[in-house]
Amino acid sequence: MKNIVISFLLISNCLFVSAQTKNANALNKGEKMEVDFGYAFSTPHRLTVSMPNASDKTLVDVYPDKLRLKWSYDNLLSIPAGSFCTPNPKWHVFITPELDGKKFENCNWQRGEGWLPIVETVYSEQAVTAKMQIIGAESAALVRIDMANNDTKEHSISIDCSNDRKTTIYNPAWVQSEWDSDVLLAGMEDRADRINLFMLGGDEQPVKDITTISQVWNLEPGEKRTAWIVRPYVAYHSQLNTLRKQDWEKEFNKAKEAWYDLIQEAVEIHIPDPVVQNAFYAGLADCFIMREPVSSEYVASTPGTEKYRAANTGEASIVAIFLDQVGLHLDAEKGFQLIADMQGEDGNWNDPKGWAHYMWAMSGFKSWALMEHYRMTGDVDYLKSLYPRMLASSRWQETQRAKTRKLVDGQRTPDYGLMPRGMGDCGLWDGDDLFGVFLPHNIWAVFADSLTLEAARILGKDNDVEELSQIHRTALTDLKWSLEDGAISENGYRWIPGVANKTDGSRWGALYAAYPCATLPAHHELINGTISKIESFISPGGIPVNTGWLKDGLWVAIALDNLAEALLYRNEGDKAIQYLYATLNHASPLISWCEERGQQPGATDATGDLQHLWTPLSVGRFLRDALVMEDGKKLHLARGTARQWLDDGKKISALDMPTHFGPVSYELQSSKKKVSGYIDLSNNTAKEVVLHIRLPKDKKIVSVDSDVNLELDAQAQTVTVKNTNKKIELNLVVK
């Protein structure tokens, strides 16, 4: 098993700690960064549990004094693939533990082992603990309860499983006392005898009301007990006796092994901050939690697990890229197939029958994922198989842009040559209209054309190259003109809005013009100005405001996905990594994020899905790029690592990380007066590799010694390797 570090967060006295974090306003301070989750939104905090890629999912919502399990018996197999239609999780049960008839004084919660999609809660008081671990297993969602009485006197632990819908779920023993008292049955809205949930192991089974089952464990001093709560995916009352005898511990452990086996296939990284490292693997695991079959042919990614439990293109494309970046190429290809196939007969690749219809950016997201898969794997046949879709898309986009190439009163308009009116989403508005001509969507659409042209050249499609060159050249010229003409002048700089010459809506998407779309150079005046605009409104916890639907709120993901990635591309690693720490501090201790929320610690205005994929996905992708990032024909290593990660005695490493040039491995080990390590380029074709030695600011590089010729830039703290295909040992003297 990979060396994944366990971290544990304590939430004392059943209240979530929402004090000002040490990292607040970190952009203006030189202090050491840490993750304390001090800007987490208010409870409930959600983590969804299931097997990888599974249809059976259970939403676990953690409150300071209880849990809620929430689920649907429906899944995406009954919904038209790609449409925004979600299963209704109408079933739920609250699980409430008590000690000697009162709620526990203390509780804490985290992910299992710091990164697994397992909810782990610990309730404690008077040397008595009740630890619950909730996992999605093969046939049921399981709650393992480990109780321990370390006191000198006897105590009782009771657990209620209850539902507040008094007309449905029922406890049979409430109806007739001799009937089963350890099971909740559906009653209505399904087969009446369907088992919702049952409990095992208690000494007593008091019958409290119609929709509650309860058990009590009487613990002698020093006694330990294990009990189970089981939510079967498909089971009926006649099966209860058999289910009571089932080896649930075996199934629990088998589910954990499935996650170990999956993550073992991915790249191995080492980051000397355990919470950050856990966040990387937690984000990777979430890609397989928010993913499930949508037909016998397709498995698809979903942006969330409740409101957004539906296949879409935006997050799904980024998931495919991230999976390729961590070496899970077959999973990337399989998950991308649905959105690749979602294309109109006319060539429209923007999901004309799906969720993202009229969002012209989707062709760009798809083309990016497709080309990254080719660049990471070198699979020419894969590129060849999807090239016709790229070509049809670019040709269709040209027909749409032709509609806007019209002069008005002899004058060119800001929309000239752009894609016509479409949907904004992501907080983009044209006045009060969700539909308009949006610059971020056009940035992506032109990027799609550039990638079609690149693919044509790779595949030797000489007959298409001239046509595609004209399409891309014209579209890019028109887009650049609109970006210049439509820019907003403010406070001595100019910035790119969502709609030309208008300040309506969010700041989402403008920085894609720098990375990855490369519409403009990284240090172009408009990129500089857009960064200044976004950073002019930063929350107390260090996150840009107004990047999504909430005008004065936070879409935390965009701090990384838009801003930090652009900063990293510009070699502004110090600023970029601070946004990572700010993002992590806005997570729950389950390393999960709602889509959008307010600025303050404990924000109650959480919107969208309570567990949204874009943020953990952005964390994972940013960390990969901070460790290993392509930049044209150059390969950058450790471009955005935190300086404190090279404090004395600390190590950074990445093993067999896929890149556009082949896999790369490297390690940096710091000590008082030196940094030693290696770069393994044995199977890498990069002509130029730049290793960033991001030391604490009180240290400097004096010299470098290696078995090959290296170029040291002591001021930039970089070591450059050129035209080398071997493992390189290096030692740097620092002071």
Strand locations in 220-295, DSSP E? 224-232, 268-270, 291-293
The Cα–Cα gap between 197 and 217 comes to: 19
Q: At how many degrees (to 10) do helices 362-377 and 380-402 cross?
A: 160
The answer as to whether 684 is a domain residue is: yes
Q: Report whether 80 contacts 294 (CB < 8 A).
A: no
The answer as to whether 125 is a domain residue is: yes
CATH assignment of the domain containing 712: 2.60.220
pLDDT digits (tens, 9 = 90+) for 107-140: 999 999 999 999 999 999 999 999 999 999 999 9
Residue 42: partners with Cβ closer than 8 Å, 6 or more residues away: 16, 602, 603, 604, 606
* Domain end marker among 260, 279, 308: 260
The answer as to whether 368 is a domain residue is: no
Q: Report whether 462 contacts 448 (CB < 8 A).
A: no
Give how many domains the chain has, as a whole number. Answer: 2
Coil vs helix vs strand at 463: helix
The answer as to whether 171 is a domain residue is: yes
CATH assignment of the domain containing 255: 2.70.98
**301 DSSP β-pair partners:** 291
Residue 137 confidence (pLDDT) = 99
Q: Report whether 317 contacts 342 (CB < 8 A).
A: no
Omega within 30 of 0 (cis) for the link into 89: no
Average pLDDT per 10 consecutive residues for the chain, totaling 735 residues: 44 37 48 94 98 99 98 96 95 98 97 98 97 99 99 98 86 97 96 98 96 98 98 99 98 99 98 98 99 96 98 97 99 98 98 96 99 98 99 99 96 97 97 98 99 99 98 99 98 98 97 99 99 98 97 97 99 98 99 98 96 98 99 98 97 99 98 95 98 96 93 95 96 95
Residue 257: partners with Cβ closer than 8 Å, 6 or more residues away: none
Residue 89 confidence (pLDDT) = 96
Give the closest residue to 86 by CA, choosing from 357, 298, 309, 314: 309
The answer as to whether 725 is a domain residue is: yes
Coil vs helix vs strand at 720: strand
pLDDT digits (tens, 9 = 90+) for 335-345: 999 999 999 99
Q: pTM of the entire structure?
A: 0.95
Element (DSSP H or E) covering residue 679: strand 674-680
Q: What is the 3-state secondary structure (H, E, C) of 149-186?
A: ECCCCCEEEEEEEECCCCCCCECHHHHCCCCCCCEEEC
Residue 166 confidence (pLDDT) = 72
The Cα–Cα gap between 579 and 570 comes to: 15
Instruction: Write out the residue range of the structural domain in which residue 212 sits.
Output: 43-260
The answer as to whether 713 is a domain residue is: yes
Strand locations in 294-403, DSSP E? 299-301
pLDDT digits (tens, 9 = 90+) for 46-75: 999 999 999 999 999 999 999 999 999 999
Element (DSSP H or E) covering residue 573: helix 573-585
Q: How many CB atoms lie within 10 A of CB 30?
A: 8
* Domain end marker among 198, 233, 260: 260
Residue 695: partners with Cβ closer than 8 Å, 6 or more residues away: 643, 646, 670, 675, 701, 717, 734
The answer as to whether 358 is a domain residue is: no
pLDDT digits (tens, 9 = 90+) for 195-249: 999 999 999 999 999 999 999 999 999 999 999 999 999 999 999 999 999 999 9
Query: How many residues are recorded in the chain?
Result: 735
* Domain end marker among 260, 284, 318: 260
The answer as to whether 481 is a domain residue is: no
Coil vs helix vs strand at 382: helix
Residue 2 confidence (pLDDT) = 55
